[in-house]
Amino acid sequence: MSCYVRCCAVLTLWFLSQSFTLAIAADAAPRPRNVLFLIADDLNCDLHCYGHSQVRSPNIDALATRGVRFERAYCQYPLCSPSRTSLLTGRRPNRTRVLTNARTFIRGVENTGSPHFREFIPDTVTLPQLFRNHKYFSARVGKLYHYAVPAEMGTNGLDDDASWDFVVNPAGRDKAEENKVFSLIPGSYGGTLSWLASQGSDAEQTDGLIATAAISLLEEHQHEPFFLAVGFFRPHTPYVSPENYFEHYPLSGIDLPALSPADVNREPPAAYKSANRVQDKMSDELRRQAIQAYWASIEFMDAQVGRVVAALDRLGLAENTVIVMTSDHGYHMYEHGLWQKRSLFENSARVPLIICAPGAAANGTSTAALVELVDLYPTLAEVCGLPAPDYLDGVSQWPVLQKTKSHVREHALTQVRHGKIDGYSLRTPRYRYSLWDSGKSGQQLYDMEADPEETHNLADEPQHAELIHKLRTTIEQEAAR
């Protein structure tokens, strides 16, 4: 064999060995963590894993056993568009300037009274966009940014094109059968209490179609890093689910919340601005029917969560996928005599939040640490090893995912606007303090340990003056940021 041939053979063997070594190194390199982001619409903490004795939520409960359940998680604004915009941008509502859901038409051209955040912070990088920018497949199924429900089901709604590689906008039987829905105001569904026990199956409903599409995307993109956001429409009004779910909640077993004297008299008035005259005139029988339908919608939505998570497990993706389950804000079901959202009471501001991060030391436990929805952005960025923008208003909850007795927040802030009146509420480990129109329209202080139902306003008691001064100063500082 000539020297030339021997040299070629040696070089070939060397290149083959190097390629083999590089291939092994590539296989050994940790694969980026996926994210499965599950969000319900108008879901409060009426879940079994949060202590509710009647609502059946086995699939969300199962997530709570494999991740960290946050007992004190709070939205930044108890209304869909402001909250979802804040959550997905990692910035507070005063920064995004999205403070309403309202939409109007001027000379036949649509104008968003809830302006798109890109008008004010055009260069912001959203949570899904961050993952997309780092070569993740980023997809949305259903409602992530704001939709008018049910009017805009099946459309893009108030979406953000830069956030996604792919979107799916299902519209199911519940959308097609709006004419069958009972409503307190005939023909009005989205902002009005309304419900339907449907004759159809789970798979025919919009949330059933959402689960099916999410499963298909998991199957198609299982071999690449993904950020898959799955936005369920339920339990948002109209409360539609197959009739078998209604059967689990007989009206005779539904007790209505008790009202305090302050609730009856609606003092201070600003705290009850979300009240609705039509809803105020409901009979107790209708109130029980509304609660029954809401609980049935929760159980139906929970079943769709179970389908998606089961697919993730079946595909062997769970060990490398961060799962988040949450809601855009809380919800009233006649607590304080109120319905739906847009108050600063605990039921409206508090949300369920479960984070299942592979390898997190605190998985399988719950925590009383305070968390804001705006914290999800920096938390997911840190868990997945991505660089978060330095302008974010949230803080990473990774230390809490490692040790549930840890905490990274001293308080959680929620705000709302009614006309020209701005309300801010500060939740600390023990207290909730709400300030209306800088105090000109009232203030409220509740000891959440002694009075979790918020029945006794302590704001006028002299012994709490120093505490109120401290909390008020904190709100003023936060609101000015």
Residue 40 belongs to a domain with what CATH number?
3.40.720.10
Q: Distance between CA atoms of 323 and 377, rounded to whole angstroms?
A: 13
pLDDT at 80: 95
Inside any domain, residue 5:
no
Q: Which of 114-128, 251-265, 297-311, 449-463 has the lowest mean pLDDT?
A: 114-128
Task: Give the residue-averaged pLDDT of 281-307.
Answer: 98
Residue 318 to residue 310: CA distance in whole angstroms: 9
* Cα maximum dimension of the chain: 103
pLDDT tens digit sequence for 391-422: 999 999 999 999 999 999 999 999 999 999 99
Q: Are 57 and 49 in contact, with CB atoms under 8 Å apart?
A: yes
Q: What is the mean pLDDT of residues 87-101?
A: 95
Is residue 18 assigned to a domain? no
SS3 133: helix
Same-domain status, 305 and 433: no
Last residue of a domain, which of 389, 409, 429?
A: 409
Q: Is residue 11 part of a domain?
A: no
Least-confidence region, from 18-22, 151-155, 458-462: 18-22
| Distance from the Cα of residue 401 to its chain's centroid | 18
Residue 294: enclosing H or E segment and its boundaries? helix 284-314
Q: How far apart are the C-alpha atoms of 202 and 242, rounded to whole Å?
A: 7
Claim to verify: residue 446 and residue 405 sit in the same structural domain: no
pLDDT bracket for residue 108 (50, 70, 90):
very low
Residues composing the chain: 481
pLDDT band at 101 (very low <50, low <70, confident <90, very high): confident
* 454: pLDDT strictly greater than 90: yes
49 with 89, same domain: the answer is yes
Q: What is the mean pLDDT of residues 162-172?
A: 98
Average pLDDT over residues 189-214: 95
Q: Domain range for residue 231?
A: 31-409
Predicted confidence (pLDDT) at residue 15 exceeds the cutoff of 80 = no
Distances (CA, A) of 60 to 44, 78, 141, 183, 305: 13, 22, 19, 29, 7
Average per-residue pLDDT in the chain? Answer: 92
**Last residue in a domain, options 409, 437, 454:** 409
Residue 114: band (very low, low, confident or very high) from pLDDT cuts 50, 70, 90:
low
In terms of domains, do 371 and 454 share one? no
Contact 144, 108 (CB under 8 A): no
Question: What per-residue confidence (pLDDT) applies to 29?
Answer: 58
316 burial level (CB within 10 Å; 0-12, 13-18, 19+): exposed
Q: Does residue 222 register a pLDDT over 70?
A: yes
Lowest-confidence segment of 17-21, 27-31, 93-97, 118-122 by average pLDDT: 17-21
Domain-located, residue 311:
yes
pLDDT level of residue 279 (50, 70, 90 thresholds):
very high
Q: Are residues 169 and 316 both part of a single domain? A: yes
C-alpha 422, offset from chain centre: 23
Measure the CA–CA gap between 364 and 343, rounded to whole angstroms: 32
Which helix (H) or strand (E) segment holds residue 310: the answer is helix 284-314
CATH of the domain at 460: 3.30.1120.10
The answer as to whether 414 is a domain residue is no
Residue 20 forms part of a structural domain = no
Question: What is the C-alpha separation between 394 and 373, in angstroms, rounded?
Answer: 8
| Pair of tokens at residue 185 | 């105001």
**Distance between CA atoms of 59 and 222, rounded to whole angstroms?**
22
The verdict on 430 and 321 lying in the same domain is no
469 plus 393 within the same structural domain: no
Place of tokens 């009233």: 332
Angle between helices 376-383 and 80-89 (to 10 degrees): 30
Stretch 448-472: mean pLDDT = 98
pLDDT at 27: 46
pTM of the model: 0.92
| Confidence tier at 113 by pLDDT (50, 70, 90) | low
Residue 102, pLDDT > 90, answer no
Q: Do 97 and 158 fall within a single domain?
A: yes
Total of domains in the chain = 2
Range 261-273 average pLDDT: 98
Residue at 72 is within a domain: yes
User: How many CB atoms sit inside 10 A of residue 182's CB?
Assistant: 17
Domain boundary among 383, 409, 435: 409
Question: Distance between CA atoms of 207 and 230, rounded to whole angstroms?
Answer: 10
Given pLDDT bands bounded at 50, 70 and 90, which one contains residue 191?
Answer: confident
227-242: pLDDT as tens digits:
999 999 999 999 999 9
Check whether residue 299 and residue 434 sit in a common domain: no
In a domain, 477, yes or no: yes
CB atoms within 10 A of CB 99: 20
Same domain, 280 and 429: no
Q: Do 172 and 124 reside in the same domain of the chain?
A: yes
Same domain, 229 and 349: yes
Write down the H helix ranges in 103-144. 127-133
